[in-house]
Amino acid sequence: MTAPDAARPQWLHRQERGSLFWLRIMRALSLGLGRRATRPILYGIALYFLLAAGKARQASRAYLSLQFRRPAKLGEIYRHFLAFASTVHDRVFLLNDRFDAFDIEIKGAAPLHSLVREQGGAFLFGAHMGSFEVIRAAARTNPDAPQRICLAMYEENARRINAILAAINPTNTPEIIPLGTLDSMLAIHRSLNEGAIVGVLADRSLATDDCVQIELMGRPALLPTGPFRMAALLKRPVVFMAGLYRGGRRYEVHFELIADFSKLGEGGRDAAIRQAIENYVVALESYCRKAPFNWFNFYDFWDLSNHAPH
Domain assignment present for residue 302? The answer is no
How do residues 46-96 score in pLDDT, each as one tens digit? 999 999 999 999 999 999 999 999 999 999 999 999 999 999 999 999 988
Domain assignment present for residue 21? The answer is yes
| pTM of the predicted protein model | 0.87
Write the CA distances from 162 to 11, 21, 169, 227, 240, integer angstroms: 17, 15, 10, 21, 23
Q: Give the H/E segment covering residue 149.
A: strand 149-154
- Select the more confidently predicted residue: 216 or 146: 216
Q: Give the H/E segment covering residue 115.
A: helix 109-119
How do residues 219-262 score in pLDDT, each as one tens digit? 999 999 999 999 999 999 999 999 999 999 999 999 999 999 98
Could you tell me if 116 and 122 are in contact, meaning their C-beta atoms sit under 8 angstroms apart? yes
Asked whether the CA dihedral 293, 297, 299, 305 is positive or negative, the reply is: negative
- 139 pLDDT band, cuts 50/70/90, is confident
Length of the chain: 310
Domain assignment present for residue 200? The answer is yes
- Top mean pLDDT of 27-31, 94-98, 102-106 is at 102-106
The structural domain count of the chain equals 1
Mean pLDDT of 282-308: 89
Residue type, 293: F
- 23 pLDDT band, cuts 50/70/90, is confident
Domain hosting 118: range is 5-294
Phi and psi of 38, rounded to 5°? -100, -10
- 17 pLDDT band, cuts 50/70/90, is very low
Q: Is 297 left (phi over 0), alpha (psi -120 to 50) or beta?
A: beta
Average pLDDT for the chain? 85
pLDDT at position 19: 66
pLDDT at position 74: 98
pLDDT at position 306: 53
Domain assignment present for residue 133? The answer is yes
pLDDT at position 128: 93
Contacts of 292 (CB under 8 A, 6+ apart): 64, 67, 68
- pLDDT of 145 higher than 70: no
- pLDDT of 308 higher than 80: no
Which of 107, 58, 103, 95 lies closest to 80 in space, CA to CA? 58
- pLDDT of 161 higher than 70: no
How do residues 179-214 score in pLDDT, each as one tens digit? 877 788 899 999 999 888 999 999 987 655 788 999
pLDDT at position 13: 45
Could you tell me if 134 and 255 are in contact, meaning their C-beta atoms sit under 8 angstroms apart? no
Domain assignment present for residue 300? The answer is no
* Residue 191, SS3 per DSSP: helix
- Select the more confidently predicted residue: 241 or 9: 241
- Select the more confidently predicted residue: 72 or 162: 72
Output DSSP code: residue 135: H
- 6 pLDDT band, cuts 50/70/90, is very low
Domain assignment present for residue 180? The answer is yes
